[in-house]
Amino acid sequence: MTTENSTSAETATIDLTTADLLVVGSAIPPEEFEAVLANLAEAFPDCGTTAARSQCARKSAHH
């Protein structure tokens, strides 16, 4: 099942398309994944925090 902008305690994915980097979080609770996204946005400032949630985080998947 694929959903938009959602995370899962099982597996969640986010692709930073501007960096061609796929980031996969495994067994990360949603609130922790939010913190990971914030850190990723800081790590890749071209995306920015907002972008990490709207443009870069275009797609996440539940497995």
Partner 1 sequence: MLKPADFVNAFEIAREQQARAILMLGPGAHSLKPQALRELANAVFSGSIDLAVPRYTLPPHSGLINSAILYPLTRALFATRTRFPLTIDLGLSIRMAERLATVGKRFAAANQDDALLWPVNEAAVAAFQVDEVEVGTRDVPQPSDPDINAILQLVTGSLFAEIESKATFWQRPRRLPAPRLQLDETLLSDGTADVPRMVEAFRLANSNLQEIWCLVLPPNSLLALKRISALDAGMFRMPENLWARIIFDFVVAYRLRTINRGHLLGALIPLYLAWVAGHLNVTASGMPSERHIEAVAAAFEADKSYLVARWRWPDRFNS
Which residues are at the interface with partner 1 (CB under 8 A)? 11, 13, 15, 17, 19-29, 32-36, 39-40, 42-44, 59, 61, 63
Place of tokens 């990490």: 52
Q: How far is the CB of 45 from partner 1 (least distance, A)?
A: 9
Q: How far is the CB of 63 from partner 1 (least distance, A)?
A: 5
- Residues 6/62, Cβ–Cβ less than 8 Å: yes
Q: How far is the CB of 50 from partner 1 (least distance, A)?
A: 16
Could you tell me where the beta strands, DSSP code E, fall in 1-63?
2-3, 11-16, 21-26, 60-61
